[in-house]
Structure 1
Amino acid sequence: MILHLIRHTKVNIEPGVCYGQKDIELLETYPEELEVVKTNIADIKFDAHYSSPLTRAKTLATELFGDAVIFDDRLMELNFGDWEGKAWDEIKDPFLDVWMEDFVNKKCSNGESFVMLHQRVVQFLEELKALEHNHIAIVTHGGVIRTLQAIHKNIELKEAFNEAPAGFGEHIQLEF
């Protein structure tokens, strides 16, 4: 089974703002970015199409695959809880430093830990394996992609952020 991971295109939010499950719009460059993604996957025949339901992924997935897309909450980005939509340097939560020291295991205030994101992605992946598809398109977010890369490479979650991140609108393949 080959997963074709497609990260959503660039988002319309100020740099340095914490966003995970905050639903934000895409940049005005979206039409051009969409064409690049279409070109990059044009020769692939997908057996199934999945996407995060957040607008930034849903918009791209719908443009690429129409009504064939299955939206799954497990493909959403990390939930940053109380920190969503705030500039990182303006977050006054005393727990921020604790989380920064161990983001893998510690939850954001009223949000998730990286382990929690990992658990939902593993559950999703196990269900996919049972379907016996060859090529699966997944439109999602950086955190989900890093998690799948860590699973694929069999590395610890704390090492996942040492891997090269998938850029906005980038398509990468992982074979399981």
Structure 2
Amino acid sequence: MDLVLIRHPEVAVEAGVCYGHTDVPLQSDASASAHALTPRMKALGVPVCVDGWYTSPLTRCMSLAQALAADVHIDMHVDARLTELDFGAWEGRKWDTIDRALIDAWAADIEHAAPHGGESLAQFTTRVVAWFDETCVERQSAQHVHVIAHAGVVRVLAAHLLGLARDDTLQWPLDFCAIAWFRRVRGRWLLVRWNA
């Protein structure tokens, strides 16, 4: 089984703004991103998507999934569990305007703290892994699962699949429209590509 995760394209948000759960527009047309992504996936040898694109309901993911699904006339599956982490009161604020003590408290217990009033990393991970279990573990017929997702979703799934600490994978670079490709071989998940 292959799990192909693609981060959404660049968003039209000022640099340094926290926009996790907030629905923000893309910087440019999703169709252009889809047309650039398709030949790149072919060049990398990414398996063909046959079961439809899975996506977060947020515009920055869903618009790319719609464009990709339309290109090959396949379904799109929208699932709220694939939405980015909810940063609560920090949503829409510049990171440098948030009380440093609150950010430090969050960093001191990144797994369980939620000083912003949104989700903790543990709550977010539980939600994302529930999607993964239902889609990739319980469905025996799935061969290739393709997802348009947020950076946080891709990183926590990487930690889950590879058995790594989440606070480590949160630091991994992940560009807009980057591909993270995982393959299950004899019951074990392997990383085929990261940030490709």
TM-score by length of 2: 0.82
Alignment partners' CA distance in 2, 1:108 and 1:47: 39
Letter in 1 for 2:78: F
Question: 1:11: which partner in 2?
Answer: 11
Deviates more, 1:69-78 or 1:89-98: 89-98
| Larger RCO (alpha carbons 8 Å, 6+ apart) | 1
Q: Quote the sequence identity (%).
A: 33
From 169, 179, 182, the equivalent of 1:171 is 179
- Kindly indicate whether the alpha-carbon contact (under 8 Å) linking 1:51 and 1:140 is maintained by their aligned counterparts in 2: yes
User: What is the count of residue pairs matched by the alignment?
Assistant: 175
From 153, 160, 165, the equivalent of 1:151 is 160
SS in 1 for 2:77: strand
**Residue by residue, what CA displacement relative to the aligned partner does 1:6-37 show, whole Å, maximum 9, x if unpaired?**
11000001111111011100013655433221
Alignment partners' CA distance in 1, 2:85 and 2:108: 17
1:84 equivalenced with 2:91 (yes/no): yes
SS in 1 for 2:170: helix
Question: 1:141: which partner in 2?
Answer: 150
Question: 1:103: which partner in 2?
Answer: 110
Alignment partners' CA distance in 2, 1:56 and 1:108: 26
From 169, 173, 177, the equivalent of 1:160 is 169
Question: 2:48: which partner in 1?
Answer: 44
Letter in 2 for 1:81: G
Question: Which ranges of structure 2 fall in alignment gaps of 5 or more residues?
Answer: 185-196
SS in 2 for 1:5: strand
Question: Which ranges of structure 1 fall in alignment gaps of 5 or more residues?
Answer: none
Cα RMSD, aligned residues only: 1.9
- Kindly indicate whether the alpha-carbon contact (under 8 Å) linking 1:146 and 1:165 is maintained by their aligned counterparts in 2: no
- Kindly indicate whether the alpha-carbon contact (under 8 Å) linking 2:57 and 2:78 is maintained by their aligned counterparts in 1: yes
Letter in 2 for 1:106: A
> Relative to structure 1, is the Cα distance of residues 93 and 73 closer, same or farther in structure 2, using a 3 angstrom cutoff?
farther
Deviates more, 1:38-47 or 1:69-78: 38-47
- Kindly indicate whether the alpha-carbon contact (under 8 Å) linking 1:142 and 1:165 is maintained by their aligned counterparts in 2: no
Letter in 2 for 1:140: A
Give the drift of 1:130. 1.4
Letter in 1 for 2:178: E
SS in 2 for 1:13: coil
